[in-house]
Amino acid sequence: MPRGRATIDGVEAAFFDLDKTIVARSSPLALSRSFFKEGLITRSALLKSAYAQLMFQLMGADEGKMERMRREAAKLTEGWEVEKVKRVVTEVLEEVISPLIYAEALELIHDHRAAGRLVCIVSSSPEEIVEPMAKMLQADLWIASQPRVVKGRYTGELDFYAYGERKAEAMQALADVEGVDLQQSFAYSDSSTDLPMLEAVGSPVVVNPDKELRRIADARGWRTEAFRNPIPLRGRLPQLRPSEVAPAMALGLGFMAAGAVWLAWWRLRKACKPE
């Protein structure tokens, strides 16, 4: 595991949320069309997903909405076959998700790595979504929700939900293991639901913030960034050869497709919400 730059107390790290922080819009919505074509979701579910994404984009999602979406997602994904989901996502991941990556986010990731900091993706998305995304982004670490799988099918339940306070708790646990000095570290997010994540570090940065997070950031004097330029990932990371990208995307894709629609329902991440 790569090590970050040492401080008196530990190493430094930069923690990034996924949707609307690294990814320009919700990856689940983009992927949901492929799920519809494969018969994993109905036309009605696809339309509801699109509507939810639009509402999240306009109004954001509070904790109550997120919890309702999580419950709906559980009903939606229960019983899905891992192998079918894996095949669908493997076929469309690079084409659909890669063009949605913010150039500004990639530059920040590059800068933090150049400074010797560990880069960690932190998302409430299932780990089978976050892990391949993190590998594509050349992140060192990742924190994600952990879905439950029984006999090759998704149960619709979670063993760990990386949301709200749990994100901060997971960051602290990771810091204890990796020797990270959180007070010398950075965190980036767009959502007020990630306030615990931002408060866990010494240098919080808000990116394309919702109204509540912007208010908090202004009151506390936190740095605010506006990301506006999505660009294909391959164009920004030419050192990633196809032979290296394919395994990264394939690893952990069992729940990628399931999680994608899950997020469109569960995270209300543009409707509803990102790695």
Question: Domain-by-domain residue ranges, the chain?
Answer: 13-266
CATH number for the region 13-266 comes to: 3.40.50.1000
> Of these residues, 9, 17, 62, 176, which one is catalytic?
17
> Of these residues, 19, 181, 190, 210, which one is catalytic?
19
Instruction: With cut-offs at 50, 70 and 90, classify the pLDDT of residue 24.
Output: confident
pLDDT of residue 253: 33
Q: What is the pLDDT of residues 138-176, one digit of tens each?
A: 999 999 988 888 998 888 888 898 999 999 999 999 999
Average pLDDT of every residue of the chain: 75
Instruction: Look up 19 and say whether it is catalytic.
Output: yes
Instruction: Look up 140 and say whether it is catalytic.
Output: no
Extract the tokens encoding 124: 């409430």
pLDDT of residue 95: 73
pLDDT of residue 257: 33
pLDDT of residue 275: 44
Q: Reduce the DSSP state of residue 1 to 3 states and report it.
A: coil
How far is 122 from 143, CA to CA, in rounded Å?
5
Return the closest-CA partner of residue 236 out of 122, 106, 130, 120: 106
pLDDT of residue 157: 83
Q: Supply φ then ψ for residue 145, to 5 degrees.
A: -70, 150
How far is 259 from 266, CA to CA, in rounded Å?
9
- Answer with the residue of higher pLDDT: 263 or 22: 22
pLDDT of residue 236: 54
Q: What is the pLDDT of residues 174-231, one digit of tens each?
A: 999 999 999 999 999 999 999 999 999 999 999 999 999 999 999 999 999 999 988 7
pTM (two decimals): 0.74
pLDDT of residue 69: 59
Is the distance from CB of 137 to CB of 107 less than 8 angstroms? no
Extract the tokens encoding 210: 């919702």
Least confident of 127-136, 205-214, 231-240, 244-253: 244-253
